């Protein structure tokens, strides 16, 4: 005899719109608690395909279905099942349908699914040579075209997806391909006032810099945008002297010639400092850093830093910045990229 919960899951496929709507709302509510998630997980073989199909329904049904999938995907085992049943492709197809009204939830679902390596591979379309990278190009385009200055920023969580994919070597290589120009587009979003976007961009840059040993030239190709994104967050908020500014490129000097709003999130400052560290591990990276007067910026920024973790990151970078006459010191290999 079927349990009440089993019957509830079966009602998701009801031909009655009223019954289906009521069932999906109850399921969505249950996924909001750990107890509810564990109970529903027992019926995942039926539950997940049913919820996936409901994403094509009207908003009153598709929205609670999407919310349920987002909550369920926090469980890595269930997320794995969603990936294997092709939910990433379903989400991407739904995301770009003109009538879609669950954009934010679909992006959040992709964030959770790309926490897993299989999810990253699926979103990168690793196994499809012709389509490889198309999903990411679409997401980056949407991320850059949508406004981060409104309260209803549908694509703000794309920054978190980019952090997830850049944890993998395949993801970093895709973002660093000069012909695609993806990282250049992403970096320009660092000016956003949306902290979620800014943090996603900082984390993505930081992860991509783990490729500095092999792809430093591609990273430095976008120096015009890279150095402001990495140095302005750790430069403090005071106006720099004309002497200091004269040794900087215009994109840095003009920004530092006036007082600025500080980057208040210490995690962003740490991420940008870690990215700088990874770049200057390479001799050519150190030369590029000196050429923009980077050491002076860090010297002044360190004076105003109060966060202990950020201070340690400053000091780690500083350990590599010895006098040119003495030659730069070598350092150990960087560790694995993290989210």
Mean pLDDT over residues 187-208, rounded? 94
Q: What is the pLDDT of residue 99?
A: 83
pLDDT digits (tens, 9 = 90+) for 239-264: 999 999 999 999 999 999 998 888 99
> Which H or E run includes 245?
helix 242-245
Mean pLDDT over residues 41-66, rounded? 96
Record the pTM: 0.90
Contact yes or no for 18/11 (Cβ under 8 A): no
Mean pLDDT over residues 26-52, rounded? 95
- Percent of the chain residues topping a pLDDT of 90: 85
Binning pLDDT at 50, 70 and 90, where does residue 327 land? very low
User: What rounded mean pLDDT belongs to the chain?
Assistant: 91
Helix ranges (H only) for 114-222 are 117-124, 134-145, 158-165, 169-176, 182-187, 195-208, 212-220
Burial of 33 (0-12, 13-18, 19+ CB in 10 A): exposed
pLDDT digits (tens, 9 = 90+) for 295-319: 999 999 999 999 999 999 999 999 9
pLDDT digits (tens, 9 = 90+) for 98-141: 888 999 999 999 999 999 999 999 999 998 888 999 999 999 99
Q: What is the pLDDT of residue 178?
A: 94
User: Which residues 6+ apart lie within 8 Å of 88 measured at CB?
Assistant: 82, 110, 113, 119, 122, 123, 135
> Which H or E run includes 40?
helix 34-41
């Amino acid at each position: 005899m079927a349990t009440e919960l089993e019957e509830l899951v079966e009602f998701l496929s009801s031909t009655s719109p009223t019954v289906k709507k009521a069932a999906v709302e109850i399921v969505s509510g249950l996924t909001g608690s750990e107890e509810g998630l564990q109970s529903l997980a027992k019926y995942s073989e039926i539950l997940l395909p049913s919820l996936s199909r409901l994403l094509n329904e009207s908003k009153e049904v598709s929205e609670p279905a999407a919310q349920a999938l987002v909550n369920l995907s926090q469980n890595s085992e269930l997320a794995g099942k969603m990936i294997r049943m092709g939910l990433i492709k379903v989400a991407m197809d739904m995301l770009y349908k003109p009538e879609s009204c669950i954009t934010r939830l679909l992006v959040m679902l992709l964030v959770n699914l790309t926490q897993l390596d299989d999810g990253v591979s699926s979103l990168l379309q690793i196994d499809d040579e012709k389509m490889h990278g198309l999903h990411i190009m679409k997401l980056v385009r949407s991320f850059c075209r949508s406004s981060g200055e409104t309260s209803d920023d549908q694509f703000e969580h794309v920054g978190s997806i980019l952090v997830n994919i850049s944890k993998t070597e395949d993801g970093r290589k895709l973002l660093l391909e000069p012909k695609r120009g993806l990282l250049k587009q992403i970096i320009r979003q660092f000016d956003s006032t949306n902290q979620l976007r800014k943090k996603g961009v900082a984390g993505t840059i930081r992860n991509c810099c783990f490729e500095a040993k092999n792809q430093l030239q591609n990273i430095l190709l976008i120096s015009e945008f890279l150095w402001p994104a990495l140095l302005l967050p750790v430069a403090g908020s005071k106006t720099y002297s004309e002497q200091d500014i004269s040794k900087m490129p215009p994109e840095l000097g003009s920004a530092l010639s006036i007082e600025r709003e500080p980057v208040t999130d210490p995690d962003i400052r740490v991420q940008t400092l870690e990215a700088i560290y990874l770049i200057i591990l390479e001799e050519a990276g150190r030369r590029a850093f000196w050429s923009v007067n980077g050491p002076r910026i860090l010297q002044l920024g360190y004076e105003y830093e109060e966060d202990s973790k950020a201070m340690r990151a400053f000091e780690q970078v500083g350990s590599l910045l010895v006098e040119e006459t003495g030659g730069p010191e070598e350092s150990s290999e960087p560790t694995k990229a993290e989210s």
